[in-house]
Amino acid sequence: MTDAPNSYRYAYVFLIRFLFILFILYVIFAVVRFIQAIGKPPGERRRPPTLGGTMVKDAYCNMYIPREEAIREVHGGKEYFFCSRECRDGFMKKAEETSGPPES
C-alpha cells in the first residue's frame, strides 16, 4: 500500500470504514431482534403461518375458495358457494333456464 497514490489509500480506508459501519449496524439489528424475541413465549417465536378453515367448491366455475370468503346462496333447499358475483349470477341464470340447479 506504500506504492499506491494517496487517492487509492483514501479509497481503501473509506471502503474499510464503510464495511465496518455496515457490520456494526448488522450487529445492532441482530441484538435488537434477539431482545424482542426474549419477551415472547417459545411457541410464538418462529411459528410459520398456518392456513385454516374449510375450502368449498364454486358451483359454477369449480374453483376452490375459503368458506369464509365465499358468496353463499341457497337454491332449491341446497347451499351453494361462489367465488364471485359473476359466478353466482351465471349459476342463477342457468338454474332459472333449466328450472333446477345446473349440472357442471
Has residue 18 been placed in a domain?
Answer: yes
Residues making up the chain, counted from first to last: 104
Residues 61 and 81 in one domain: yes
Residues 36 and 67 in one domain: no
The β-bridge relationship of strands 55-57 and 64-66 is antiparallel
- Return the higher-pLDDT residue of 104 and 15: 15
Whether 36 has a pLDDT exceeding 80, the answer reads yes
Task: Report yes or no: 59 and 92 within 8 Å, Cβ to Cβ.
Answer: no
pLDDT band at 19 (very low <50, low <70, confident <90, very high): very high
Q: How many domains does the chain have?
A: 2
Residue 102: CA atoms inside 13 Å, Cβ hemisphere, count? 18
Has residue 50 been placed in a domain?
Answer: no
Has residue 104 been placed in a domain?
Answer: no
Whether 103 has a pLDDT exceeding 90, the answer reads no
pLDDT of residue 52: 67
Whether 77 has a pLDDT exceeding 90, the answer reads no
Per-residue cell: 66: 375459503
Q: What percent of the chain has pLDDT over 70?
A: 78
Domain assignment of residue 26, given as a range: 6-45
Q: What's the distance, Cα to Cα, between the start and end of the chain in Å?
A: 78
Has residue 1 been placed in a domain?
Answer: no
